């Protein structure tokens, strides 16, 4: 790419409402979708015959996993936040 093209690209990235902070928006959407998928999977698992007692037992069993997932998402957020 030429310097003119690089300058144009930098200007667009700084001012365009969709492109601006695209990485942070992508991570935020990814985290939201991951959480939604996890919630749906948890409900499906809790209602399946494979779950030992049901949703209450599964919720208590999921607490360590949720703490770990929350810590992982906080670390990702710290690395992707704007300084």
pLDDT, tens digit only, all 83 positions of the chain: 567 777 777 777 677 766 677 777 788 888 889 889 988 887 777 777 766 666 666 667 778 888 888 888 888 888 887 65
Taking the whole predicted model, whether its pTM rises above 0.85 is answered as: no
Q: How many CA atoms lie within 13 A of 37 on its CB side?
A: 6
Residue ranges per domain, the chain? Answer: 22-80
Residue owning tokens 């998928």? 37
Q: How far apart are the first and last CA of the chain?
A: 28
């Amino acid at each position: 790419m030429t310097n003119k093209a690089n300058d144009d690209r930098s200007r667009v990235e700084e001012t365009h409402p969709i492109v601006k902070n695209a990485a942070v928006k992508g991570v935020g959407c990814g985290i939201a979708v991951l959480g939604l998928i996890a919630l749906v999977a948890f409900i499906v698992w809790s209602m399946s015959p494979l779950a030992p007692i049901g949703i209450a037992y599964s919720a208590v069993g999921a607490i360590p996993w949720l703490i770990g997932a929350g810590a992982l998402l906080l670390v990702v957020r710290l690395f992707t936040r704007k300084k």
